[in-house]
Amino acid sequence: MSKNNDELFKNVISHAKEYGFVFPSSEIYDGLSAVYDYGQLGSELKNNLKMYWWKSMVQMHENIVGIDSAIFMHPKVWKASGHVDGFADPMIDNKDSKKRYRADNLIEDKIARYLKDGKTEKSESLQKDLDAALASDDLPALRALIEEHQIVCPVSGTRNWTDVRQFNLMFSTQMGAMAEGADEVYLRPETAQGIFVNFLNVQKSGRMRIPFGIAQIGKAFRNEVIARQFIMRMREFEQMEMQFFVKPGTEMEWYAYWKEARLKWHLAVGTLPEKYRYHDHVKLAHYANAAVDIEFEFPFGFKEVEGIHSRTDFDLSQHEKFSGKKLQYFDTVENKNYIPYVIETSIGLDRMFLLTMCNAYEEQDLSTAEKPDSRTVLHLHPTLAPVKAAVLPLVKKDGLPEKAREIMDNLKLDFNMQYDEKDSIGKRYRRQDAIGTPFCITIDHQTLEDNTVTIRHRDSMEQERVPVKELDKIIGNLVSWKNLLK
Ligand code: ATP
């Protein structure tokens, strides 16, 4: 990360804390590694991101429905899905610093360093070796690459490494009152399996016809070997996943459809297209026949925010095998039974939140020849902004607060609003800019005479005078979901 980007990222993190977006979990006890809490504005923004996803996936598609399955599931689910035996990262410990790393991350960092130093050939050949070792789950080969490229521990600076071992990422706990005989259950590491096991329940009760999708938003838990970059890699996080069930043989058409549709969803909020890119998977998971990541350029580089995977009939077939229950669909057009193929779209809500904050954050220099000036502004899309408008009486007297309250009481029925009468109007504008409020409504003496107010627009800082009775409609249009969904 360059110094500027490093600083920018640090500023985003401290801004998120200072204004009540994200706090470290249990902070008074010095926090819990890779666990975070969303504050008063963060939870509003997070809810809006969820709503944006839910509306666009469920409400805008007549053939997609949403569910909310439990976090705990029968332990056999995770045997069937392959998570008990295969959901692991290759880890390595440095014996001097006692720090644990993901072996593949250490090698990726080395590849990035080679690239930065202009050693393109070396970086490409190491990338090829890494891909080959990962594709064959060859742990000694990973260890050999670390040795050969003289990769040192970033903390101790030594090469005193252990062997590379697999580390399962699932958290487990006991279900049942008695320690003895209690069943070991897992905290789900993904929400997808809750959809697969309910495939027939939803299909039958909803009379769904293929192609159709089931969507879900919910918590997932992974005991990540190393957690870093704030809410980028957490041990407790939220996913928004949709499984789309299709006729075998049509999966590549649907894969192409969702690949394009999901990128469109990201771009609709106004993010510059060059901040995004697709990354096709070289190493496919055992269940997939195609997979792509949608990556965003964070201050620390391009990283995955969402995955689109063609999962074949792997999951439903596995659940058939392990449960002994038929999970087939009767296709009335073809007049036959089959296990549908699945296209999955899977996005991390917290990563989307981080992306949104990084993309919106700007430190603006507003200095003129006469005086220095600056502001920090979050350019959030108005529909996603935690607070839609602030109501600000120009002064705290002459009946202006009473009039402002009357306006506020009406608007808060439809919109999340803030009322603020403390400090100068300029300071109040700056506070709203910093939390991304798109509109400030100012009540002044003229309001009492002609029932008009000014609306100040966050990004342009321009003001316009409008009748109070039009406010509902004006704000409603500016923050409407239509602006994102159509
Ligand atoms: P990564 O390679 O970054 O570990 P992944 O390929 O394991 O991610 P998936 O299993 O495809 O991720 O999960 C889908 C999405 O869930 C990811 O695109 C990401 O946005 C999110 N996600 C996965 N792990 C985490 C985590 N530890 N913290 C926050 N979000 C996560």
Predicted local confidence at residue 179, as pLDDT: 61
pLDDT higher than threshold 90 for residue 237: yes
pLDDT higher than threshold 90 for residue 141: yes
Q: Is the minimum distance from the CB of 102 to ligand 1 under 6 angstroms?
A: no
Predicted local confidence at residue 469, as pLDDT: 96
- From CA 354, how far away is CA 16, in angstroms rounded? 10
Task: Report in angstroms the alpha-carbon separations of 278 from 296, 430, 484.
Answer: 9, 37, 22
Number of DSSP helices (H) and strands (E) in the chain, helices first: 17, 23
pLDDT higher than threshold 70 for residue 116: yes
Query: pLDDT tens for residues 270-290?
Result: 999 999 999 998 778 778 899
Tokens of 53: 């996803």
Predicted local confidence at residue 1, as pLDDT: 60
Q: Which ligand 1 atom is nearest residue 306's CA?
A: 18
Q: Whose CA is nearest to atom 23 of ligand 1?
A: 348
Q: Is the minimum distance from the CB of 241 to ligand 1 under 6 angstroms?
A: no
Q: Is the minimum distance from the CB of 345 to ligand 1 under 6 angstroms?
A: no
% residues pLDDT > 90 (the chain): 89
Quick one: pLDDT band at residue 36, thresholds 50, 70, 90?
Answer: very high
Query: pLDDT tens for residues 298-355?
Result: 999 999 999 999 999 999 999 999 999 999 999 999 999 999 999 999 999 999 999 9
- From CA 293, how far away is CA 281, in angstroms rounded? 7
% residues pLDDT > 70 (the chain): 98
Q: Is 140 exposed, middle or buried (0-12, 13-18, 19+ CB in 10 A)?
A: exposed
Average the pLDDT over 46-67 and give the result: 98
> Average model confidence (pLDDT) for the chain?
95
DSSP state of 347: E
pLDDT higher than threshold 80 for residue 390: yes
pTM over 0.85: yes
Quick one: pLDDT band at residue 225, thresholds 50, 70, 90?
Answer: confident
Predicted local confidence at residue 284, as pLDDT: 80
Average the pLDDT over 230-234 and give the result: 94
Q: Whose CA is nearest to atom 4 of ligand 1?
A: 233
291's CB contacts (< 8 A; 6+ apart) are 280, 281, 284, 285, 307, 308, 309, 310
437's CB contacts (< 8 A; 6+ apart) are 385, 386, 387, 388, 389, 390, 418, 458
Predicted local confidence at residue 283, as pLDDT: 74
Query: pLDDT tens for residues 117-131?
Result: 999 999 999 999 998
Q: Which ligand 1 atom is nearest residue 304's CA?
A: 18
Predicted local confidence at residue 159, as pLDDT: 95
Query: pLDDT tens for residues 400-452?
Result: 999 999 999 999 999 999 999 999 999 999 999 999 999 999 999 999 999 99
Which residue type occupies 95? Answer: K
Q: Whose CA is nearest to atom 22 of ligand 1?
A: 348
Return the axis-axis angle of helices 3-18 and 349-360, rounded to nearest 10°. 110
Distance 307 CA to ligand 1 centre (A): 8
Q: Which ligand 1 atom is nearest residue 348's CA?
A: 20
Lowest mean pLDDT of 16-30, 214-228, 265-279, 280-294, name the range: 280-294
Average the pLDDT over 222-242 and give the result: 92
